[in-house]
Chain A
Amino acid sequence: ETGVTQTPRHLVMGMTNKKSLKCEQHLGHNAMYWYKQSAKKPLELMFVYSLEERVENNSVPSRFSPECPNSSHLFLHLHTLQPEDSALYLCASSQDRGMGYEQYFGPGTRLTVT
């Protein structure tokens, strides 16, 4: 597998469930990102990890909890979500502090909260 992968691709969960989204990058990058994409809204940056250290938490509710165990893996742990959290969750990676700043996106996880 090359590039940035995400699992699962689709997820339906109840408001009382606990689930996790997984992202893996195979590009040798050292920065990883979580974005939320909702209908009719801009892509919203949620979390940034650079060199495995969280450098941004964009006022995201605590029901979203990120984890970055190493530079290739990123998780988003979900618990007690609300219906308005239904969206496409995109992971991205980039080479931080290098010449190229491009962020490579994964295919996303389509999350539906019932």
Chain B
Amino acid sequence: GENVEQHPSTLSVQEGDSAVIKCTYSDSASNYFPWYKQELGKRPQLIIDIRSNVGEKKDQRIAVTLNKTAKHFSLHITETQPEDSAVYFCAASIVGYGNKLVFGAGTILRVKS
């Protein structure tokens, strides 16, 4: 089955700097790659996703890149702000009959002001 590895497990950046979180997946059939943000004591919320027919997607300060050949995808946050501090999870799935997401272990991002 699918296996998703996420690095780093913790990341500290200065406010205004960029943050990059990387994930690798094992199943070449995976075609959907979402990123979720979970603030302390709150539910995970989707921040951006990418499908396998696209190499890059951007939404304001957040971007995701996908390299299908290498089977890895990355989250890029630019101009980080204190409210970006949270746990970020990547996931991978084969969209079909039930979207069975396999999650990475998560990255704790701390933005220092």
Number of residues from B at the complex interface, CB < 8 A: 24
Tell me whether B97 and A43 are in contact (CB under 8 A): no
Instruction: Report the number of A-B residue pairs with Cβ-Cβ less than 8 Å.
Output: 61
Q: Name the residue in B34, B46, B91, B99 with the highest tally of chain A Cβ atoms < 10 Å from its Cβ.
A: B99
Tell me whether A101 and B99 are in contact (CB under 8 A): yes
Known: A90-B43, A108-B43. A96 touches B105 (CB 8 A): no
Residue of B nearest to A31 (CB): B98
Known: A101-B49, A101-B95, A102-B49. A45 touches B100 (CB 8 A): yes
> 8 Å CB contacts to A: which residues of B22-61?
32, 34, 42-46, 49
Shortest CB–CB separation between residue B38 and chain A, in angstroms? 9
Query: Which residues on the B side are within 8 Å of A49 (C-beta)?
Result: 98
Tell me whether A105 and B44 are in contact (CB under 8 A): yes
Tell me whether B49 and A43 are in contact (CB under 8 A): no
> A interface vs B, CB < 8 Å?
31, 40-45, 48-50, 55-56, 90, 94, 96-97, 101-108
